Amino acid sequence: MGVTEHNAYRDITIRFPGQIIIGKDALLKLTDEVTLSGFTTVIIVTIEPLLPKLQPVIQQLQAQGVTVKVDTSIVQEPSFADFNTLLQSFDGLKADAVIGIGGGSVLDIAKLIAAQMDNTQTLNDIVGNGLLKQRRIKLICIPTTAGTGSEVSPNAILVDEADNQKKGIISPYLVPDVVIIDPALTVSLPPAITAATGLDALTHCLEAYTNLFAHPFIDMYAYEGMRLISQNLVGAVTNGNNEDARTQLAIGSMLGGFCLGPVNTAGVHALSYPLGSMFHLAHGLSNALLLPYVMEYNMPASPARHAAVARALGCNSGATDEETAMAGINKIKELIKQCGIPATLSAAGITKNAIPEMAADAMKITRLLKNNPRPINLEDAIAIYEAAY
């Protein structure tokens, strides 16, 4: 790829799930995973619309004598209160495994339930990086969107209703033991959600690759993730039954999840958080709205990296890195247009007078801002929001 590495020699620790199963109808392998481990009681955290698809596997488990407790209470980006209510509802239940089947919010909650069911630490004790001390219950994650990469990441994000801020819990103990990628589960996803979650996954890869703390070991996942997602996103959005596009998108999304532990995201995610907490915009859409504008802001700080991004997205090399990088930014704008989702903050219903408050909120996300290849201060954040408006 011929791009200077920023930090080839810094120490990184990568924790992968113990087992990843990828394939058509891979969901049906869940029964073996549970019964061969000798589990007798499992919790499934999922959403109502998926229940018909999950019925066969739930019946299989019950036929093997496994007690299955299903919860569908998580319907939007979860708050601390949502989590605590759910945890209390399992009080006294001795579960062997927690199985998350759904989008990022469902998986994040499943990860935290598995960690907290048998833990003396409170939720507030574990907010932040590396504070969770253990997880004793087996954790299995099955994503139904090709988006957050939560199924392989050490992160879980919740909204703290005390200050309406999104808070991250990051710990190696949140990396699942088993991951099942079944593209058939993503086929019924509506085009707008396919687009937003796919662009979220693309953002994970892109922000890891252009990150101040980029690392050659993660670069290979980030680069291949960008390539797979950019090649298959429009195909999956325009024809949801395109199983090949769905499969490649799901793999690209998982590669984006690999980037989230050791390198993580940067300015796009930091600036997107206030769109979620103030306007309740879906996380993937928030990222998509800001991605090209943050790229335009960052590009002068690392033209070679942004040129490599453009090549991963399928653009030809121009006369200079800057020219190539600009082609990549235009390609992202084109992808967003082809996906038919809003391309500006105003089109997504954000009010212009909210920009100063959003910028002030974004400045609090220092854990991500510190990764950005070009420093972002309050004025810069306001300028980026205004460009995206």
Contact 358/278 with Cβ under 8 angstroms?
Answer: yes
Number of domains within the chain: 2
Q: How far apart are CA 387 and CA 290, in angstroms?
A: 9
Same domain, 69 and 199: no
Both tokens of residue 15? 């924790």
Query: Rounded to whole angstroms, how far apart are CA atoms 380 and 99?
Result: 42
Q: 218 and 304 share a domain? A: yes
Quote the tokens at residue 82.
């949502």
Angle at the Cα of 110 from the Cα atoms of 109 and 114, rounded to 5 degrees: 115
The predicted-structure confidence for 309-322, as pLDDT tens digits, reads as follows: 999 999 999 999 99
Task: Confirm if 207 and 269 have CB atoms less than 8 A apart.
Answer: yes
CATH of the domain at 112: 3.40.50.1970
Q: How far apart are the first and last CA of the chain?
A: 34
State how far the alpha carbon of 335 is from the alpha carbons of 231, 267, 329, 341, 378, in Å.
10, 20, 10, 10, 29
Strands (E), 178-242: 178-181
- Kindly tell me if the per-residue pLDDT of 1 is higher than 60: no
Indicate if 377 and 287 belong to the same structural domain: yes
Report how far residue 164's alpha carbon sits from residue 77's, in angstroms, rounded to the nearest whole number: 12
Kindly state whether residues 174 and 236 are assigned to the same domain: no
Is the model's pLDDT at 32 over the cut of 50? yes
Beta-carbon contacts of 353 under 8 Å, excluding residues fewer than 6 positions away, are none
Q: What is the pLDDT of residue 332?
A: 97
Q: What is the pLDDT of residues 350-367, one digit of tens each?
A: 999 999 999 999 999 999
Q: Are residues 255 and 123 in the same domain?
A: no
Reading the block at residue 287, the tokens are 């990222």
pLDDT > 70: percent of the chain: 98
Check: CB of residue 279 under 8 Å from CB of residue 168.
Answer: no
- Kindly state whether residues 150 and 244 are assigned to the same domain: no
Mean pLDDT over 116-140 rounds to 95
Structure confidence by residue, pLDDT tens digits, 223-261: 999 999 999 999 999 999 999 999 999 999 999 999 998
213 and 113 share a domain? Answer: no
Query: Is position 6 within any domain?
Result: no
Domain contains 128: yes
pLDDT, one tens digit per residue, over 192-219 is: 999 999 999 999 999 999 999 999 999 9
Using the predicted structure, report yes or no on whether residue 37 has a pLDDT greater than 90.
yes
Calpha distance 130→343 (Å, rounded): 36
Predicted structure pTM score: 0.93
Domain boundary among the residues 119, 153, 181 is at 181
* Same domain for 51 and 139: yes
Residues 154 and 285 reside in one and the same domain = no
DSSP for 290-344, please give it. Answer: HHHHHHHHHGGG-HHHHHHHHHHTTPPP-SSHHHHHHHHHHHHHHHHHHHT---S
Cα separation, 320 vs 130, whole angstroms: 42
Mean residue pLDDT across the chain: 94
Task: Look up the CATH number of the domain holding residue 374.
Answer: 1.20.1090.10
How confident is residue 11, by pLDDT bands cut at 50, 70 and 90?
confident
Question: Could you tell me the pLDDT band of residue 76, with boundaries at 50, 70 and 90?
Answer: confident
Range(s) of the domain holding residue 96? 25-181
Q: How far apart are CA 247 and CA 181, in angstroms?
A: 9
